[in-house]
Copies of this chain bind each other. A is one copy, B any other.
Amino acid sequence: MRSNIKQLHEQIKAGNFLALARGITIVENELDGYESLLLNLHENRHARVIGVTGPPGAGKSTLVNALLRHWLHENKKIAVLAVDPSSPFNYGALLGDRIRMSEFYTNPGIFIRSLATRGALGGLNAKIIEITDLVKDAPFDLVIVETVGVGQSEVEIAGLADCTVVALVPEAGDEVQTLKAGIMEIANIFVVNKADHEDAEGLFRNLRILAHEKAHGTTEIPVVKTIATQDNGVGELADEIMKFLNAQKEMPEKRLHLLTEKCWQLIQAQRMKSIDHDKLRKEMAIAIKQDDFNLYAFTKDFLTTIK
């Protein structure tokens, strides 16, 4: 490890936010020292990772803000990584969420970083794995990773987090229960946010029933009602999160699963590095002018030109 990177790593471990911000930038943009920084991380760390996910409109950012206010009173040191969705289309829409979080931007106990995933090209973003691992090397008590989405993004967050919180809001539609059944696998805690909404009680009841059916005699997934805009129910949510983290036994199978999936994503990102998207597009532009263009023949030919 080069001495300036080694020094940066020491500063990150000592809790220097500027060094951490710089480290993230190095990892995000694969600048000099990127690899040696990652190769020197240790996997066992103090900080626990809390994933907060749920559909757009569930009030995730407001919920994270409320949790930050709560934990600040306990003098916890917290990092927040706000991951924009893989869709390249949502950047603008999400800026609203980010702006609302600004009340904590100057707080010395809280580190906040927004991460944009790089569009639809790479699927799950290996960068988020790398950056979360880097942040875990700093002396935080908690790292909150907030992602939008259903499906892929939720799998993503469940692969990173020691405790995954799924936030939902009351919504119309008799098929709601279908969604919730799918989500049971990754949620460690459910939040019914905007609990003052007229349909909240129905959603709460359905989630409780599903949690009960799923439990099979073991512990049921807690369902917490919140009105995050009023800090309502947030203390209870924080308690459930800490209870889950504390009760979490050594689960070697889960750790193996998570690390295997993380490794898979890292390999995928690495394997696609040699594929030049601009070059692909340029060659495609020429090829599609031919009458007998065939996508599969083109792909095969293109790959023979890559090492």
Residues of A in contact with B (beta carbons under 8 Å apart): 35, 38-43, 55-59, 85-90, 92-94, 96-97, 120-124, 130, 133, 148-156, 159, 169-176, 178-179, 181-186, 194, 197, 199, 255-256, 259-264, 266-268, 270-272, 275, 277, 280-281, 284-285, 288, 292-300, 302-303
Contact = CB atoms under 8 A, between A and B. Distances in A.
B172 A86 contact: no
A178 B130 CA distance: 29
Copies in the complex: 2
Contacts of A87: 150-152, 154-155, 182
A268 B263 contact: no
Residue among A59, A86, A155, A263 with the most chain B CB within 10 A? A263
Given A185-B89, A186-B89, A275-B267, A173 B194 contact: yes
A279 to B, nearest CB: 10
A40 B42 CA distance: 51
Given A173-B194, A178-B93, A260-B281, A299 B266 contact: yes
Given A41-B295, A56-B179, A263-B280, 11 more contacts: A35-B296, A38-B296, A55-B179, A56-B150, A58-B175, A89-B184, A120-B124, A123-B268, A171-B171, A267-B272, A268-B272
A282 B196 CA distance: 49
B153 A57 contact: no
Contacts of A123: 122-124, 152, 268
